[in-house]
Structure 1
Amino acid sequence: MSKKVLISGATGDTGSAAVRESIALGLQVRAMVRSIDERATALQALGAQIVAGDFNNVNSLRDAMQGVDAAYFVYPVAPGLIAATVNFAQAAKEAGVKAVINLSQRSANRESTSDSCRDTYISEQVFNWSGVPVIHLRPTFFLEWLLYPWQLPYLQHGILRLPAGKGRHSPIAVADQGRAIAALLKNPDDHIGKTIPLSGPVEMDHEQMAVELSEALGRKIVFQDIAIAEYVTSITDMGLPPYVVQHFGGAMLDYQHGHMSGADNNVELLTGRRSMSVGEFARLHADQLNAT
């Protein structure tokens, strides 16, 4: 009998990728969603069992975890992470889950000015205190940022616009994270208690990223370094929630000070295939990135 796993946030970016990849690995997937909608129905069509669960309701989490061998925890950039972590850890303990895969973030840091970065650090500690067998994943910035509403319109007009300074990172695609998550859900034992960074194959600054995007898209992309205050004002005007705005302001300050630097081959070690590059991602999404 194949292993049964629970994937929370199953209609989100990493959650939906983890569902697809876990099914591909032959796992029995229970996909936890807040409500049954078209996205949940699409996952059901792939072979996932759909269950409703609420991070604020420990009983719903315990019910979702009954009979599960391993579980994936992911929480959005929003208030409530620590309470959600407590409930998820308690439910996992009661249900006898043998491994929890926790999606943290590279900039988890108790000294950060970002509330989310500090909360993410504490969330890791809560899982550690709980005694639940846990693996922490710390991905760097997602390549999908290039497609988000606060970035895409500028890129479509040839501008990579961020308050990045001389900071460096090796961005990672959601699809590659999904492969790593699925691999760990299937075979967690050798990684219990570890914190695993996840990144793309090459560390670069945003000037270098603009060059690679230019080559991939066949048109000039220019990096525009702006002040954090200007960036915060612009994303506030776009309607991003205050908690997200506050996080981005603090996270970009951390980024400028090297908190997101480094590259690794952990995706390849876990899955047998390296993560995709900036250029590969850009070519894959050229229709969106080149649209005006």
Structure 2
Amino acid sequence: MKILVTGASGNVGRYVIEELLSMGEQVVGAGQDIQKIKDIFKDTIDAVHFDFTNKGTFHQALENVDRVFLMRPPHLGKPEDLYPFIDAMKSHKIKLISFLSLMGVETNPIPPHHKIEKYIEAAGIPYAHIRPGFFMQNVSGVHSVEIREKNQVFVPAGNSKTSFIDAADIGLSTAILLHEPNKYRNTAHTITGPEALNYDQVAEILSKVTGRQITYAKPGYLKYRRHYIKDRGLEKGYVNVTVALYFMTRMGTAKEVTDDFVKLTGRHPRSFEEFARANVNSFI
């Protein structure tokens, strides 16, 4: 049987697929842009058109599949948007869902991940939640624009600390869970990087790596939200979710450092400085 990977061309999905292929698994990559998936993976996987808001795409995506990597697309802010597909997975007798959740979400009902976890569990589908800290790719991705153009890290995280993790490490952890569904049935794993950094420290590391003076702007929520919606043109629902996450970060929910990654993989997670050096072109 095959493993379905939603968000196949995304930051985490592509790493999940690469690791699963190295383990000898057969993979179905799902997303709205089939050509993009084919361009990345060629003929090494099956590619299917998939849309959480279109039930007509569910059956083909789940055909001959017994395990699923489930990722909530950033533009779907309501947990209810994923419920129909979770119901479909139950009727297909999926033997493990690995849901890309969020660190600390088990005690934090604000982000949509909390209700999605609970819905999966209530449906009675075997699960292995993966609860990572903030992605390093958030810094090299959506937040890199201000770093390149203004020499600023522009996020409303205050003085809080974050135990950033590389998406490649998330992909490896998730692939292990999906590869051994019986071993990890009905489990949850909080994976983080090796250290917790505040954003002044992030700016210091980026300054060292790029050779430029980069500072932490420390914007308030309203300034951040206005900039990302009006100036950057990002979708309001997506920005609102990030505001909620940074609010919780200020409450200390992102600073925990765990050894779950080491326990799962036998390796040490990548540090932020290692990541920044490997991805320096994102910041220059």
Say whether the fold is shared (TM-score over 0.5): yes
Does residue 243 in structure 1 map to residue 253 in structure 2? no
Question: Which of 68, 77, 80 pairs up with 1:71?
Answer: 68
* 1:84, distance to aligned residue in structure 2 (A): 4.0
The one-character-per-residue Cα deviations of 1:59-83 (angstroms, maximum 9, x if unpaired) are 5323322322311101112236533
Residue 9 of structure 1 is matched in structure 2 by: 7
Cα distance in 2 for partners of 1:35, 1:250 equals 29
Does residue 154 in structure 1 map to residue 146 in structure 2? yes
Cα distance in 2 for partners of 1:89, 1:240 equals 28
What amino acid is aligned across from residue 153 of structure 1 in structure 2?
V
Give the percent of matched residue pairs that are identical in Structure 1 and Structure 2.
25
Q: State the secondary structure of the residue aligned to 1:30.
A: strand
Cα distance in 2 for partners of 1:29, 1:71 equals 10
- Contact 2:141-2:282 at 8 Å conserved across structures: no
Residue 53 of structure 1 is matched in structure 2 by: 50
Give the alignment of 1:257-272 within 5 angstroms: 257-272=251-266
Question: Which of 81, 92, 96 pairs up with 2:89?
Answer: 92
Does residue 172 in structure 1 map to residue 165 in structure 2? yes
Cα distance in 2 for partners of 1:248, 1:160 equals 15
Residue 42 of structure 1 is matched in structure 2 by: 39
Cα distance in 1 for partners of 2:104, 2:237 equals 16
Cα distance in 1 for partners of 2:108, 2:202 equals 29
Does residue 163 in structure 1 map to residue 156 in structure 2? yes
How well do the aligned residues superpose, as a CA RMSD in angstroms?
A: 2.0
* 1:265, distance to aligned residue in structure 2 (A): 2.6
* 1:135, distance to aligned residue in structure 2 (A): 1.4
Residue 275 of structure 2 is matched in structure 1 by: 281
**Consecutive unaligned residues in structure 2, runs of 5 or more:** none
What amino acid is aligned across from residue 85 of structure 1 in structure 2?
L
Q: State the secondary structure of the residue aligned to 2:118.
A: helix
* 1:56, distance to aligned residue in structure 2 (A): 2.7
Question: Which of 120, 125, 132 pairs up with 2:118?
Answer: 125
Cα distance in 1 for partners of 2:196, 2:271 equals 10
Q: State the secondary structure of the residue aligned to 2:154.
A: strand
What amino acid is aligned across from residue 256 of structure 2 in structure 1?
G
* 1:158, distance to aligned residue in structure 2 (A): 2.9
How many residues align? The count is: 281
Distance 1:29 1:247, change over 3 A: same
Distance 1:90 1:153, change over 3 A: closer
* 1:161, distance to aligned residue in structure 2 (A): 2.2
- Contact 1:81-1:120 at 8 Å conserved across structures: no
Distance 1:42 1:273, change over 3 A: farther
Distance 1:80 1:217, change over 3 A: closer
- Contact 1:73-1:103 at 8 Å conserved across structures: yes
The one-character-per-residue Cα deviations of 1:211-256 (angstroms, maximum 9, x if unpaired) are 2223333443222212111111111121111101212222211111
Cα distance in 2 for partners of 1:57, 1:158 equals 41
Residue 100 of structure 2 is matched in structure 1 by: 103
Distance 1:144 1:46, change over 3 A: farther
- Contact 2:71-2:100 at 8 Å conserved across structures: yes
Cα distance in 1 for partners of 2:275, 2:281 equals 12
Question: What is the TM-score when the length of structure 1 is the normalising length?
Answer: 0.88
What amino acid is aligned across from residue 223 of structure 1 in structure 2?
Y
- Contact 1:7-1:71 at 8 Å conserved across structures: yes
Distance 1:225 1:183, change over 3 A: same
Question: What is the TM-score when the length of structure 2 is the normalising length?
Answer: 0.91
Q: State the secondary structure of the residue aligned to 1:225.
A: coil
Residue 79 of structure 2 is matched in structure 1 by: 82
**Consecutive unaligned residues in structure 1, runs of 5 or more:** none
- Contact 2:128-2:186 at 8 Å conserved across structures: yes
Q: State the secondary structure of the residue aligned to 1:189.
A: coil
